Every structure is written in C-alpha cells, then in structure tokens.
Structure 1
Amino acid sequence: MNPISIVGAGPGALDLMTIRAQQRLKSADVLVWTDSLIPIQITKLVKDDCEKIKTSSLTLEEILLILIKKHKEGKKIVRLHDGDPCLYGAISEQICRLNDEGIEVEVVPGVSAYQATAATLGFELTVPDLTQTIILSRADGRTGKPKRESLQKLASIQSSLCLYLSARHVEEVQSILIKYYPANTPVAIAYRVTWPDEWIKVIPLTEMAKTSQEQNLIRTTLYIISPTLKIGNNRSKLYNPTHSHLFRSS
C-alpha cells in the first residue's frame, strides 16, 4: 500500500509549496487538512473527486482513526500541515501510532513562517559580528517546556530568536526578553505571513506587547527578535576579497 504522506503546506502562499508537496496533493484520494491554519486555495490542488476532511474540530485520536480507516481502504492519503510539519506539528505521535498499525509514513517538508517572514522583510538572520545562531522556540504556555530551555536561558544568548505559539503570552514574553536584549532590539511581528491578509511590522522590543494587543493578535503569529533586523555595515568574510579559501586565493 501507499505510505501516508504528511505534507508541509508552507506558510500560506501557493507558490511557496515544494514541488513534491504539490505532487502529493494532486495525486491524493483523501485530504486530511488543518483547515484553521491553511488557506483553502491550497486544497484546490487536489483532484475533483478527492475526499476532503477538515480537522479543526477533531482530536488527534479521531484524526488517527480516519487515517487508519482510509489507508485500509487502499486510499492515497495526504495529511496536510501548515508550515513545516517537523516544527510544532505534533507528527511524532501520529507517526508512532501509524507505525504501530504497520502503516508507512513519509514526511514532506515545507517552508516555515520564520523563513517566509525574514524573506518578506529582506533580512538575513545570521549576520557576522551580530549573531550566527537562530533559535526556534515558544513561550512556556500551558504545555510548558523543559526547564533547561527556559525563555530566560534562550534570551541570554541574544541571538535571532523566533517564537511560535506565543501571542497569548506576549506580555510575559516581553518582560523576560527585555532583561536580556537591549530595549531597542527590533522585533518582527508576523501575522499570517504570505496569506492575502498578511500583516508584518518591525517594532522595538518595548512595543512588542502593546502592538500585539492593538492588533488583537492571539494566534497564527510569529515573533522574530533579532539584532540583524537593524543591520549596519556587517560584511561576510566569505566574499571579502581579503579572505582566501579552498576555491579562491586572497
């Protein structure tokens, strides 16, 4: 039988999906998709007779029962996730359960919101002498995090910090970050990046909570806190004429 394909839809724009993702959608008999997080335009890639099942009101257990049932019927199934399914996609428990049923699973990666946001703004998140590190994380929230990954520890590095699933906790997040980053550190707030109603703004760290609340942002929001969003003359050594390497002598 065909494996179940867990496919990353990317941030929202149809042309930011991978070719493989589009191929899987076009050949699917059943589409099981997170309708609350993915634009409906993407689902139009499937065949006219493809069965579409929305999951916004379903539990993980209910979704798994559907996947197992449809697979036993010999259907070619796409489980469509927003962004990249390997980031906050809850795919581990899906894969384990499906593997227990003897069902093979493939994962098709997608462009993540942090990549789309940086590209939309035209900024690099790893700039020489500012930071060479990107951290992808989230506020502690109700689900919590390992203590070794507390926001305080992550912020103390002062790298490019990308926070998912944190809009509901923005006041607490700002109060922690401002203890470690300079108050004027740029913060990119990205709501539904690459969607038709995309909203992105770069503001100082001190305005992070206020701006979020003014825009009533509680979900589908990413924060990028990074000194690279306000760059000066920070040139990479790789392309500097004074720098030699394997393929070029100085």
Structure 2
Amino acid sequence: MVYFIGAGPGDVDLITVKGRKIIEKADVVIYAGSLVSKEHMEFCKVGVELYNSAHMTLEEVLSVIEKAEKEGKVTVRLHTGDPSIYGAIKEQMDELYKKNIEFEVIPGVSSFTAAASAIKREFTLPGVSQTVILTRIEGRTPVPENEDIEKLAALGASMAIFLSVGMIDKVVEKLKRGYKRNVPVAVVERASWEDERIVMGTLEDIGDKVKKMGITKCAQILVGDFIDSSYSKSLLYDKNFTHMFREGKKK
C-alpha cells in the first residue's frame, strides 16, 4: 500500500493526525528533502528505509515503490504542504494505476493557508472578496495564456502566488496592470518554519522590500484588499440572523 501524505508547510506538527500515524508504521518513506522538515523522520519506526526524492527521478521513485509493494511493505510518499497543489502527484498516481498498485492520498496544510495564518488574515472577507486564486507566474513551467496573472488580478479577488518570488519584479508589473490600482501585498518566506520572515507592503514598494531582504525562494506572495481593508461582519454570528441552528432576535 502506498500513501501520498501532505507533510504541511514546515512546522513538523502541521501534519494531520492520520498522516503522522501512517508515517509511524511505514516501512519505506520517500520524502521531498528540499522542502519537507527532516523532523518528520523522527517519528519513523526503527529500520525504516528513507529516500530523499530531491535526488531522484520519477522512474527511480517508482522503482522504489514497486519494489516495496512486491515485498508487502507500506510506503509513504511524503510531499510538502498539500500534495494536490503543485505536488506533481498525478504522474506518479497514473503509473501506480497502470501497475495496479493501491494508493491513498492524505491531505495536508498548504503553505498558502500557513502564510495567511502568519500574517493573521482571512482571505474571504464579506464585502471584500469571496474568492481565493492560487496561481504562479510562468517560468520554466509554462502557464496557460488565459491564466496569466494579469488577467487573474483583473478579477480583484484575493490571491496566493506560489513559486514566483524569484521573479518579483515581473509579478508586480503584471499585478499592477491587472488590479489597476495599488493593493496590499504580503510576502511570507518559509511560512511556519522557525526562520519564517514576513514582508508587508503594497504593489508600489513590495519589490524593493523583498530584494532588500534577499528573499528569492520558498515564499508565498499574498495579494489583495483582504490584507488591509474595511469589511462587513459575517451574518452567521449576527444576532438578528436566523439559520437552522439559531433563531435570530427580532429588531
């Protein structure tokens, strides 16, 4: 049996209880060594086989999984954050389907939610934004033309931009053209790690601030009015609002 598990954004305790329990019984763990905290390995049982996938190709990863499966072992494929977001798991799962190897995906805490927690903000504020866009700028991995950051920014929704801080000037220029105004921006480097760093600003100054701090990778770029704006309170807790669990008070 193979388990794809989201290890969370960094903090070793930001993994699900289910994910931790499976790691404790795993015979083989293939982990994304460049991003996953090595503290997770402290919960593995004695004799576990550990593989750092940062040094492996897709074929090598699949070879380890296939060998473990033939030996009746439990394999964990440990990914950073949540494996369904920029996790490159589809190509692995497709091969397991072909080989009739059973697997399960265990979700995890994503870096974009960890970043929002770091700056103590809510993406979906009533009267401000009810939509969160997760995206990235094009680099060596292309982005579909209709998903260009400039076009997405034109919607005015809250945004969390992955894998793009190394091209901060390009990101800012596209966002300026899309939002067509100066909006708040937060850059969170290594969200939830002990060396986490936060930079707050706007589209006008965030580029200079990020470069001054030398942030070039492992950072979320959060953009939108949700970072700093007035908003409407939720109806859910309004004393005059009636729902299936509570009768609202008459005005």
Q: TM-score of the superposition, structure 2-length normalised?
A: 0.94
User: What residue is the counterpart of 2:236 in the other structure?
Assistant: 238
Tell me if the contact between 2:199 and 2:210 (Cα under 8 Å) persists in the aligned partners: no
User: What residue is the counterpart of 1:249 in the other structure?
Assistant: 248
User: What residue is the counterpart of 1:35 in the other structure?
Assistant: 33
| Matching of residue 167 in structure 1 with residue 165 in structure 2 | yes
Q: Secondary structure at 2:146's aligned position in 1?
A: helix
Q: Secondary structure at 1:68's aligned position in 2?
A: helix
User: What residue is the counterpart of 1:215 in the other structure?
Assistant: 213
Question: Which amino acid in structure 1 is aligned with residue 141 of structure 2?
Answer: T
Aligned equivalents of 1:226, 1:179: Cα separation in 2: 14
Tell me if the contact between 2:32 and 2:53 (Cα under 8 Å) persists in the aligned partners: yes
Aligned equivalents of 1:65, 1:211: Cα separation in 2: 45
User: What residue is the counterpart of 1:109 in the other structure?
Assistant: 107
Q: What is the aligned counterpart of 2:226 among 219, 225, 228?
A: 228
- CA displacement 1:138-173 (0-9 Å, x = unmatched): 111121112221112210011110000112221111
Q: What is the aligned counterpart of 1:124 among 104, 113, 122?
A: 122
Tell me if the contact between 2:149 and 2:178 (Cα under 8 Å) persists in the aligned partners: no
Tell me if the contact between 2:126 and 2:231 (Cα under 8 Å) persists in the aligned partners: no
User: What residue is the counterpart of 1:8 in the other structure?
Assistant: 6
Aligned equivalents of 2:130, 2:247: Cα separation in 1: 23
Superposed displacement of residue 87, structure 1 = 0.3
| Matching of residue 137 in structure 1 with residue 115 in structure 2 | no
Tell me if the contact between 1:31 and 1:80 (Cα under 8 Å) persists in the aligned partners: yes
Aligned equivalents of 2:11, 2:189: Cα separation in 1: 13
Superposed displacement of residue 56, structure 1 = 0.9
Superposed displacement of residue 213, structure 1 = 1.9
Q: What is the aligned counterpart of 1:58 among 56, 59, 78?
A: 56
User: What residue is the counterpart of 2:151 in the other structure?
Assistant: 153
Question: Which amino acid in structure 2 is aligned with residue 94 of structure 1?
Answer: Q
Aligned equivalents of 1:23, 1:65: Cα separation in 2: 25
User: What residue is the counterpart of 1:48 in the other structure?
Assistant: 46
- CA displacement 1:11-43 (0-9 Å, x = unmatched): 111221100110111001111001110111122
Aligned equivalents of 1:42, 1:72: Cα separation in 2: 25
Tell me if the contact between 2:121 and 2:227 (Cα under 8 Å) persists in the aligned partners: yes
Unpaired runs of 5+ residues, structure 1, are none
Aligned equivalents of 2:166, 2:63: Cα separation in 1: 31
Aligned equivalents of 1:196, 1:71: Cα separation in 2: 36
Q: Secondary structure at 2:217's aligned position in 1?
A: coil
Q: TM-score of the superposition, structure 1-length normalised?
A: 0.94
Superposed displacement of residue 118, structure 1 = 1.2
Tell me if the contact between 1:183 and 1:204 (Cα under 8 Å) persists in the aligned partners: no
Tell me if the contact between 1:12 and 1:193 (Cα under 8 Å) persists in the aligned partners: yes
Q: Secondary structure at 1:15's aligned position in 2?
A: coil
Question: Which amino acid in structure 1 is aligned with residue 64 of structure 2?
Answer: I
Q: Secondary structure at 1:136's aligned position in 2?
A: strand
Superposed displacement of residue 224, structure 1 = 0.7
| Matching of residue 76 in structure 1 with residue 70 in structure 2 | no
Superposed displacement of residue 183, structure 1 = 4.7
Aligned equivalents of 2:180, 2:154: Cα separation in 1: 11
Number of residue pairs aligned between Structure 1 and Structure 2: 248
Superposed displacement of residue 208, structure 1 = 2.5
Tell me if the contact between 1:183 and 1:206 (Cα under 8 Å) persists in the aligned partners: no
Aligned equivalents of 2:65, 2:216: Cα separation in 1: 30
Aligned equivalents of 2:205, 2:105: Cα separation in 1: 38
Q: Provide the identity percentage.
A: 34
Aligned equivalents of 1:56, 1:49: Cα separation in 2: 21
